[in-house]
Structure 1
Amino acid sequence: MHYNTLGNTDINVSLICLGTMTYGSDHSEAEAHEQMDYALAQGVNFFDGAEMYPIPTSPEYQGRNEEIIGSWLKLRGNRDQVVVATKVAAAADMVSYLRPGMALDRKNIRAAVTGSLKRLQTDYIDLYQLHWPERATNFFGQLNYVHKPEHDGTPILETLEALAELVDEGLVRHIGLSNESAWGTMKFLQLAEQHQLPKVVSVQNPYNFLNRTAEVGLAEVLHRENVSLLPYSPLAFGVLSGKYIGGARPDGARITRYPMYGRYFTEQGQKAVEAYTALAQKHGIDPCIMALAWVNGRPFVDSNIIGASTMDQLKANIASAEVTLSDELLAEIEAINVLYPNPCP
C-alpha cells in the first residue's frame, strides 16, 4: 500500500480510503467488520464516515455507520492504527430530522461532534469535515452558479471558530471540507490565516472520469495551499463498471435498488461510459480498475475513497493501488475526456 501525507499534517494516510456510507443499511455490522478487517490487513489505515450515513439517509438508520466503525474499533482495540474521518451535516431538507434549526454554527457543530464521538466510541476524531456548504453554491451536481447571498447562512468565520474550539479541546485533530468550491476552500484558508485558526487540510469532492470539475479551479488551490483532495464516487456510483450500459439494471446492483441516484445517467455520460469501457477492454484491463488507478495517480489526490458491495469488489478496488496505467492508455483516456468533458458534474 502507498501512503501520502494528509494536507499539511503529520498524518500518513493510505492511498485507498474505505468509505462506509452503506454500513448499517446495505451492510450488516458483521459484513462491515469483515470489510474493515480485510482493508486494514491490506494496509488501508483511513476510514471515512458521516453522521448522516448510511445512504439513503433516514431517521431509522442515521448514525449506524459510525456505530459500526465504533464497535469495530472497540472490539479490535486498534484505534491507534487507523485514521478516522467523519462529517457534520449542514442544513438541508433531507436531514432536517437530525437537529432542529440545522446550521453550521457552534450549537449544531457541538451537538454533532458529541453524537459522533459517542457512536464512534472514541475520544477524538482525526479528520472532521463539513459535509457540504451551508450557503447556496454549486454542489451535488449543480451548475451555473446563481448568487444568493440571502442564503449564506452561518458566517464562515463563525463555523471556523466553532471547529477551532474542537481542535483546541482535543476532540478533533484536523478539519476538512466536502462538496466545496475553489472560492469556499480559499475563504476558509484566508480566514484561518487572518485569525490564527486551524487550516483545512482536505477537500472531499466527487472526482471520476465523468466529473473532473475539480480540475477547473480547485486543483490549483489544492496544489498551492497543500490541501489534499479526497475523491469520492471514483466509480461514479458503479456506473463506470459498464454494468448499466444499454439500460441494463442487474439484480442487486445499487442503481437497480436506488433508481433515484441518476446523476451519472445523462445522455453524454452514457456515451462516455461506453467509450471508457471499450478502451478498458481494448487494453485488457477491468474498467473499474482503470477508473480507480487513474484517480489514484492524479497528483493532487492523496487518498481515494472507495466503497464495495461485496468482498470481491473490495479486494479488487484495494488492489487498484498497485496498478500503474501506461502513458498510451493515459493519452487515450484524455482523448475521450476531450470528446465528453464533464458530462455528469
Structure 2
Amino acid sequence: MFPCLEKPSTIQSDNSHLSQLRSNLMLLAELLMLIRYIGLSNETPYGVMKFLHFAENNVHYPKIISVQNSYSLLCRTFDSGMAECCHHERIYVLGYSPLAMGILSGKYFASDGAPSDARLNLFKGRYSEGESRYSLARNTLKLATMEYLGIAEKYGLHPVSLAIAFVLNHPLVASTVFGVTKSWQLEEVISACNVELTSEIIVDINKIHAKFPNPCP
C-alpha cells in the first residue's frame, strides 16, 4: 500500500507493513544457524526491493536470494518489473505452477473433461484461488491454451515438454515448482527438462502471448 499525505491512516498502514518486513528479517536472522538461504514467495518488485534495502542497511539481516512466483506460458507477469529487479539484484526465480494447474497439459480439453481426480475437478468448489486464476470458463484462457497446444503439435513436442521447457528457458529461473500425483506425470516433467526450444518455437510462443497476454495473472 502506498502512503498518501492526505490520508494519515494510510501512512500508518504502510508503516505497519514495513515494520512487519523488518520483524520477519529479524526472526530469520535469529534462525540463520538452522537455515542456509532465504527467499520470498508471491512478492512484488516493491517488496523485493524493501527486503533488500533493509538487509543492506543492517549487517545482521540476511539477504534474500530467490523469489517463488507463478510463471508459465499463461502467466508471465514476472517479466513486467519483477524481472528487472531480480536481474540487477542477482535474485533467482522458483517458478511455480508451470503447467497452470495442469491446464497446459491439455487434459482439461479432452472430450471427457479430464480425469475425475484432476485437481480442478477433484477440488471443484473448494479451491477458490485456483479456480479463480485458472477458470476454464475464461475464453481467453481456453483460446491461448489451444494455440499453445497447437505449437506443441506443430513441432512434435508433448504439451508438458513445451510448457516446462519454456519456464526453464528463462535466464532468471533457477528451478520450477510443480506437483504430481502419479509416477508417469513425474516422468513427463523430468523428460521435459532435456527439451531445448528453438528460436522458431520462441517466436511462435511470443506471438500467442501478444494476442493473449497473461490470461492467468
Q: TM-score, normalised by structure 1?
A: 0.55
**Which residue is 1:40 aligned to?**
none
Tell me the secondary structure at the aligned position of residue 202 of structure 1.
strand
Tell me the secondary structure at the aligned position of residue 167 of structure 2.
helix
> How is 1:1-345 mapped onto 2 (pairs within 5 angstroms)?
150=13, 152-153=16-17, 154-167=19-32, 170-196=33-59, 197-245=61-109, 248-259=113-124, 260=127, 261-262=130-131, 263-265=133-135, 266-345=138-217
Structure 1: segments with no counterpart, 5+ residues = 1-135, 138-146
- Conserved? CA contact 1:210–1:264, under 8 Å: no
Q: Greater shift after overlay, 206-215 or 304-313?
A: 304-313
> 2: distance between equivalents of 1:212 and 1:234?
10
- Conserved? CA contact 1:210–1:341, under 8 Å: yes
1:250 Cα deviation from its structure 2 partner: 2.2
- Conserved? CA contact 1:249–1:255, under 8 Å: no
User: Which structure ranks higher in relative contact order (CA pairs < 8 Å, sequence separation ≥ 6)?
Assistant: 2
Q: Which 4+ stretches in 1 moved above 6 angstroms?
A: none
**Which residue is 1:118 aligned to?**
none
Aligned-residue identity in percent:
39
Tell me the secondary structure at the aligned position of residue 143 of structure 2.
helix
1:195-229, Cα deviation, whole Å (9 max, x unpaired): 11210010000000111000001001111101110
1:181 Cα deviation from its structure 2 partner: 0.5
1:158 Cα deviation from its structure 2 partner: 1.6
Q: TM-score, normalised by structure 2?
A: 0.86
Tell me the secondary structure at the aligned position of residue 268 of structure 1.
helix
How many residue pairs are counted as aligned between the two chains?
199
> 2: distance between equivalents of 1:148 and 1:310?
49
1:275-304, Cα deviation, whole Å (9 max, x unpaired): 111111111111111000010110110111
